[in-house]
Homo-oligomer: A and B are copies of this chain.
Amino acid sequence: MIQIIKNPDVALWPSLCRRATFDDAAIDSRVRGILALVKEEGDKALRALADEIDGFCPESFLVSEEELANSASYVPQSLQEAIRTAKRNIEVFHQKELPSSFTAETMPGVVCQRRMLPIRRVGLYIPGGSAPLFSTILMLAIPAKIAGCPEVILCTPCDKKGIVNPVILWTAQLCGVSTIYKLGGAGAVAAMAYGTETIKPVCKIFGPGNRYVTKAKQYVSTEGVAIDMPAGPSEIMVLADDTANPLFIAADMLSQAEHGPDSQALVVCHSEETAQRINEELDAQIKLLPRATIATKALQNSRIVVFDTNDTSERDSLYLRFADSYAPEHLIIEMKDPWAIASKVTAAGSVFVGHFSPESAGDYASGTNHTLPTMGLAKSFSGVGVDSFLHAISYQELTSDGLELLSQTIISMAEAEGLTAHANAVKVRVGQK
């Protein structure tokens, strides 16, 4: 039974929109230590960390040709086919994200350009363990390849026999990534950021991970290595009216809750009865889940908010404002006229419209990206896209006449800012050919 809150006053909304918090102080010093060690000692530190944390260090961090070649035989045909279908859809969607370069002659003889270029070398982090997140390889490697990144490497932990889950190896190769290192945790992030004897440093690090990985990414991002985004626990908000099926809603909440004990699911509906029925469905469904313990913990951070008004436009307005306040990573709108709200949302990572658009469609296979902003960052951040693997360079070429035409403008402004040398750089050129 999760908490039901009825007609909360606006003053209470911030507390209802609060995410689960946790104390990172212990993690903080440990991660700093790992980063410093890898920066200083390179591979030696990585080996010591593997021995200490995993109780096992692979002979070679680099996954061998043989391991790569053998991986296919461990991936069932049906799963291979599913992954190929997902890949195709993700490619179709992400191809459309490719921005174009452009040229603008802003004045005669003043030609400006913006060119989009792939980031030279990127690193993808893929968690291993009990749930090998091969779907995240699709979500990162496909846009990286569409962007044209010439070097894409991947780090993922191996098990205590030195084996990396073959679905990860197979999917990575399918997406064109064949440089894979058996490295996990903050050590992997450090290796990608600073480089070691075995691993050349990358310009940008992508991918999810536990709190150590997240903290490590946050630190290296203050030292000149770009990261995809600050990541927090996963979250979902469901907006429901009386056409919504409590069975679907409970299933959607649990698909979020099974991610981790710090996940969060919020439901907004307009009758206490619906809220009760969702709760009953949760109770029935959760018992059957292998990850029931995790999901149960996550539901403790979760809640159902009831706005019991029959005025449709007032209801839509309340739903919309509450959703924008929360700025959910995933927003499912299970309503009769979902676009009435969907088209007005200003803060969400990804919106799932209508009764037949569960989050899992976007998590795996519909085509959209599943690496999305959490913790309310959807107010200002975007999910990962092709643009995350690109950077822009601007260009300008002025003719001597073009510069002359613009010279008085530049000189006036530079002098008003007290920057004489800026003005001089124009003055020395004017009149010359």
Contact = CB atoms under 8 A, between A and B. Distances in A.
Interface string A337-363: 010001001111111111111111111
Contact of A379 (B119, B130, B349, B356): B119
A425 B255 contact: yes
B396 A106 contact: no
A203 B380 contact: yes
A417 interface: yes
Contact of A363 (B230, B367, B368, B422): B422
Interface in A358-398: 358-369, 372-373, 375-383, 385, 387, 390-398
Identical chains in the assembly = 2
Given A361-B406, A409-B364, A379 B251 contact: no
Contact of A362 (B102, B247, B394, B417): B394
A81 to B, nearest CB: 8
A112 interface: yes
Given A104-B92, A120-B347, A425-B255, A398 B82 contact: no
A79 interface: yes
B257 A396 contact: no
Interface stretch (A2-10, A56-64, A183-191, A284-292): A284-292
A425 B248 contact: yes
A429 B358 contact: yes
Interface stretch (A44-52, A83-91, A269-277, A302-310): A83-91
A422 B360 contact: yes
A414 interface: yes
Chain A interface mostly: mixed
A392 B396 contact: no
A163 interface: no
Given A258-B419, A379-B391, 19 more contacts: A79-B412, A79-B413, A106-B366, A114-B385, A131-B417, A131-B418, A135-B413, A222-B222, A226-B380, A254-B424, A290-B420, A342-B395, A349-B394, A350-B393, A351-B394, A351-B396, A354-B398, A356-B429, A361-B396
26 contacts: A85-B406, A85-B409, A92-B104, A97-B114, A99-B99, A112-B367, A134-B417, A226-B380, A258-B419, A338-B397, A345-B393, A351-B396, A353-B395, A354-B397, A356-B398, A356-B399, A357-B396, A357-B397, A358-B426, A359-B425, A360-B414, A361-B398, A362-B396, A365-B410, A367-B396, A368-B396
